[in-house]
Amino acid sequence: MHRQLREELLARLDYVAIKPALILDLGAGGGEACPALAQRYPDARLLAVDHAPSAWHDDAPASLLRADAQQLPLPDNSVDLVFCNLLLAYCRNPVPVLTEVNRVLRKPGLFLFSTLGPDSFNQWRQAWATVDAHTHVVPFPDMHDLGDLVVRAGLAEPVLDRDSFTVTYTRPEDFVADLRAVGSVNWSKTRQPGLTGRGTRDRLLAAVAAQREADSPWPVSLEVIWGQAWAGGAKASAGATDTEIPLTAIRPRRPAEGFDPS
């Protein structure tokens, strides 16, 4: 899914006319997007940022910077394109990251991103709900709330849309292994504080089994939110309470299901 969403995000650059001098791949992982970005913008310098980059190759067409996305060691107004595939899905609070993106972007810089919405992992959430009252899937912001956060961070003219995907697994254990492999962490305050006992595990597996037809794979839903915004919005200020959002960016709103951006 990381690869598929990365390719879709790259394809969305077909519809924008920019000539970036410096590109920031934010949450770059092993820099998988960098070759395609380098081919698309051969005159640009590429900078890949990740707090724990994986499988980095010395011949990658980008400079690697180990850094926290909430505190980028880059000057103000220094970047022309921020490419960000799924990083926000792993952030407890996306506002500091969005604020840093706004700080480093220079006019008319573009922020292009993908993240997960609140309908992601519904089957896993529903299965756990039959077992205990703890939070086992973190609450992702919905599209409208995320648009508000983008504007609050100071970025301009946000445009967001969404897609739905289904990934199938033979065993739920493989799903858990995938989550761990990409660094997913349950940071919820109401998560299970202790270890999962055998009885709890057996009840969970029974709930998962009830969601699938005989001899069929177990489906896991993903809601993907795509977004873009531009440099040039008002800078975020401490204590600000008012936000503005263009009419073109407004979409039908659904309950935020517990998401707290504070």
- Ranking 13-22, 60-69, 81-90, 218-227 by mean pLDDT, the lowest is 60-69
- What is the fold, at CATH topology level, of the domain defined by 2-236? Rossmann fold (3.40.50)
Q: Please state the domain extents for the chain.
A: 2-236
pLDDT tens for each residue of 196-221: 888 999 999 999 999 998 789 999 99
256: tokens are 């935020």
Least confident stretch, 18-27, 67-76, 112-121, 252-261 = 252-261
Q: Is the pLDDT of residue 258 over 70?
A: no
* 225 confidence band (pLDDT: 50, 70, 90): very high
So what's the pLDDT on residue 256? 36
pLDDT of amino acid 53: 73
For 18, the token pair is: 């920019």
User: Which residue type, as a one-letter code, is found at position 12?
Assistant: R
pTM: 0.84
